[in-house]
Amino acid sequence: MTAVQRSSGDLIADRRFLYGEGLLADGDAVVAAELFEQALEIAPDWPDGHAGLARARAAASDTDGAASAWRRVLALEPADVLGARLHLGLLGAAEVPAVPPPAYVAALFDQYAPDFEAALVDRLGYAAPPALAALVAETGRTFADAVDLGCGTGLMGAAVRTSVGRLDGIDLSAAMLEQAAAKGLYDDLTVGDVGTVLAARPGRYELALAADVLCYLGDLAPVLGAVARSLAPGGLFAFTIETLAEDAGEDWLLRPSLRYAHRPSGVVEAARRAGFDRLRSVAVALRLDGGTPVEGAALLMKRRAG
Ligand SMILES: C[S@@+](CC[C@H](N)C(=O)[O-])C[C@H]1O[C@@H](n2cnc3c(N)ncnc32)[C@H](O)[C@@H]1O
């Protein structure tokens, strides 16, 4: 039996939780919910136990019950490592957050880090870094100072390293950055939120990259503004988005995958307001999700002078 990610501190509660997870994976959501409830009788203040219960209730179409369990998770852990706010938004029980809780993103990728590259590159056909590297190469430019936003384990850095002089990386996940550091590709790696870190680096870069990162942000206006301010005039920003249909009726949407999708025309308009002109955009199948390609786009923007 595998171990729980974060133990309740009680072996029996942990076992009931794992049993519940197994039942939930097998589609028996109602019995799974009973197992999570039993675990919570032993460990009533265990956020992960309430999150399990919430997921089981949601799978059993008990929306109110799921929302009440997610609210309990949030009350127990306001930093929201488990992404309760996102789930409440998806359930229609609260407004969808414009950005996910940073603690949730950091914990998610700290957990993924050991298996990230094998899963994404070997099994899921991950295409974002080569797509962005091709857009950058087409310009024929080289860049003295570049920054890889949400650099993760360094796949994007590896794809552009020969076109850039100095390369910085920023990421919320310390475990992802440990792997990037081991590759020796980056001159500097900073743990933090991209918008916050960039705010202290005005006009620093000639190139900014964000491969499969903006899907972890809903409203892109703040990050586009932060990137524009961190670039010198004429600087480039290459990034991917998960695309939302143009007739979607809104510029961004949180999907059940807990990633955000964006309407390309909305992104181009938000980028224009932030001070960018679009140079190129190409459709890209970003990776497989449940065997289906995730439709996306790779965009190249140029910061206007002045
Ligand atoms: C799907 S991974 C992609 C990593 C890398 N760009 C690549 O192509 O392999 C997304 C990365 O973005 C980071 N991330 C998401 N939101 C972020 C934010 N607001 N600030 C910094 N990093 C963020 C995550 O921690 C994660 O490492």
In a domain, 5, yes or no: no
pLDDT-based confidence at residue 159 (cuts at 50, 70, 90): very high
In a domain, 103, yes or no: no
H/E run at residue 171? strand 164-171
The reply to whether 81 and 159 lie within a common domain is: no
The reply to whether 30 and 155 lie within a common domain is: no
In a 13 Å sphere around the CA of 273, the CA atoms on its Cβ side amount to 10
Domain containing residue 220: 114-303
pLDDT-based confidence at residue 2 (cuts at 50, 70, 90): low
Q: pTM for the whole thing?
A: 0.95
The reply to whether 180 and 85 lie within a common domain is: no
- Give nearest CA residue, ligand 1 atom 16: 216
Pocket-testing residue among 81, 86, 104, 109, ligand 1, by greatest number of atoms within 8 A of Cβ: 109
Whole-angstrom Cα distance, residue 205 to residue 203?
A: 6
Residues 285, 296 contacting (CB under 8 angstroms): yes
The reply to whether 178 and 92 lie within a common domain is: no
The reply to whether 142 and 269 lie within a common domain is: yes
Protein residues with CB under 6 Å of any ligand 1 atom: 105, 109, 128-129, 150-153, 155-156, 170-173, 176, 193-194, 211-213, 216
Q: Of the candidates 39, 64, 97, which is a domain's last residue?
A: 97
Domain of 39, CATH number, reads 1.25.40.10
Distance 19 CA to ligand 1 centre (A): 32
In a domain, 88, yes or no: yes
For the chain, state the CA radius of gyration.
21
Distance 199 CA to ligand 1 centre (A): 18
Using alpha carbons, list the distances in angstroms from residue 238 to 44, 124, 152, 201. Answer: 47, 22, 16, 18
The total number of residues shown for the chain amounts to 306
Q: Of the candidates 28, 63, 97, which is a domain's last residue?
A: 97
In a domain, 153, yes or no: yes
Number of domains in the chain: 2
In a domain, 2, yes or no: no
The reply to whether 186 and 87 lie within a common domain is: no
pLDDT-based confidence at residue 1 (cuts at 50, 70, 90): very low
Q: Which atom of ligand 1 is nearest to the CA of 194?
A: 20
Domain of 276, CATH number, reads 3.40.50.150
The reply to whether 66 and 189 lie within a common domain is: no
The reply to whether 64 and 143 lie within a common domain is: no
- Residue reference for tokens 């009440």: 68
Q: Of the candidates 36, 68, 97, which is a domain's last residue?
A: 97
Distance 92 CA to ligand 1 centre (A): 26
Question: Which class for 3: exposed (0-12), middle (13-18), buried (19 or more C-beta within 10 A)?
Answer: exposed
Pocket-testing residue among 81, 105, 168, ligand 1, by greatest number of atoms within 8 A of Cβ: 105
Each residue's pLDDT tens digit, 202-229: 999 999 999 999 999 999 999 999 999 9
